Amino acid sequence: MLKPYEENVQKIKDEIYSIGQEVVHANKISLAALKENDLSMLKDINLSIKSLSTKSNEVDNLIVKTLALYSPEARDLREMVSFLKITNELLRAGANSKAFVKTFKKSFVDDLDKHAILEYAIPLLKASNQALETAMQLIKETDEKVIETGFQKVSVEESKTDDLYAIIEKNTLKLIAKRIELSKDYFDVLSSLRRLEKTADRAASIANLLLFAHAGGVIEQAK
């Protein structure tokens, strides 16, 4: 391919990586807040979905322009198609992260059994963000074997979030049975933690798209 094409691809990768890092950074602050049991730290999260959407649209426009100008084929075409889908996945991941912060901060009141919630919420958030961070590292990777290994790592972390959320859900229902008057708060906390599981799903989808871009095959249906 021509040098201008390669420059466009590099710019696309850089911009996608930048968007992903904004979400990863927000999740790291959330993780620190849960570990310290200090939700005031969440005020430091400045994750604007409007801003992410604007950046995503700019990347999409560059992708479409690149497709129109250079008509890439085979692997190059798969890569462009994957990038178009990845920007949408990152927007969904960002929306999930922001929704988690908003709902958790509001519903995590003093009357709840905080220790029981945080015992599994912390590893859930850690696994969710590890999945997304690993997926983001694959954006700039070109070695197919490294990407395949990274995809497997993301899949492992995503599977962890499924298991951890199932435990949290079971434990939360037991807590509600003991304190039925707190059922709304417990359910809201559960809803917020569900967002973390969904973020991991988005990470798995991104990793799968990157694997498709380099190795071909079939794009798995995202959850």
Q: What region does 217 belong to: left with phi over 0, alpha with psi -120 to 50, or beta? A: left
Is 90 exceeded by the pLDDT of residue 124?
yes
Separation CA 202–CA 85 (nearest Å):
11
User: Residue 77: exposed, middle, or buried by beta-carbon count in 10 A (0-12, 13-18, 19+)?
Assistant: middle
Domain 3-215 carries which CATH code?
A: 1.20.58.220
Separation CA 139–CA 154 (nearest Å):
13
Write the pLDDT tens digit of every residue in 182-192.
999 999 999 99
Helix H or strand E encompassing 45: none
Structural contact between residues 211 and 146, judged by C-beta atoms closer than 8 angstroms: no
Is 80 exceeded by the pLDDT of residue 218?
no
Write the pLDDT tens digit of every residue in 9-35.
999 999 999 999 999 999 999 999 999
Is 80 exceeded by the pLDDT of residue 52?
yes
- Least confident range of 73-77, 169-173, 218-222: 218-222
Is 80 exceeded by the pLDDT of residue 198?
yes
Nearest CA among 132, 128, 142 for reference residue 196: 128
Is 70 exceeded by the pLDDT of residue 147?
yes
